[in-house]
Structure 1
Amino acid sequence: MKKIVDEKGKLFGIINVVDLIVLLVILAVAAAVLWKLFGNTVTSAMSGKTEFTYVVKCTEVDASLKEILEEQKLPQQLMSSGSYVNGSLTKVEFAPHMVTALQQDGTVMTYEDEGTVDAYFTITASVDSRTLTFPVGSQEVRVGKEHIVKTRYIELEGFILSVDIAE
Structure 2
Amino acid sequence: MIIDEKGKIFGKINIIDLLAVLIIVVSVAAVCFKFGFSAHKNVGSAGDEITYVMKIKAIRDISADALNIGDSLTEKTTKKKIGKIIDKRVEPAKEVVNKADGTLTGEVEIPERYDVYITVKGSGTANDTGYFLDGTYQIGVFSSVVFSSRYIETTGTVTEIK
- TM-score, with length taken from structure 1: 0.56
Identical residues among aligned pairs (%)? 19
Q: Which residue of 1 aligns with 2:70?
A: 75
Q: Which residue of 2 aligns with 1:147?
A: 145
The answer as to 2:114 corresponding to 1:117 is yes
After superposition, the Cα gap between the structure-2 partners of 1:102 and 1:86, relative to the gap in structure 1 and judged at 3 Å, is: closer
Q: C-alpha displacement at 1:84, in angstroms?
A: 5.6
Quick one: distance in 2 between partners of 1:133 and 1:84? 18
- CA RMSD in angstroms comes to 2.9
Read off the aligned partner of 1:113 and give its amino acid letter: I
Q: What secondary structure is seen at the aligned counterpart in 2 of 1:134?
A: strand
Quick one: distance in 2 between partners of 1:107 and 1:124? 37
Quick one: distance in 2 between partners of 1:62 and 1:52? 28
- TM-score, with length taken from structure 2: 0.58
Q: C-alpha displacement at 1:155, in angstroms?
A: 1.6
The answer as to 2:105 corresponding to 1:108 is yes
Q: Which residue of 1 aligns with 2:131?
A: 134
Q: Deviations over 1:80-101 (max 9, x none)?
A: 4695625212122111111221
Q: Could you list the runs of 5+ residues in structure 2 that have no partner in the other structure?
A: 1-44
The aligned length equals 116
Determine if contact 1:96/1:118 at 8 Å carries over to the other structure: yes
Higher helix share: 1
Structure with max Cα Rg: 1
Q: Which residue of 2 aligns with 1:66?
A: 64
Quick one: distance in 1 between partners of 2:125 and 2:95? 41
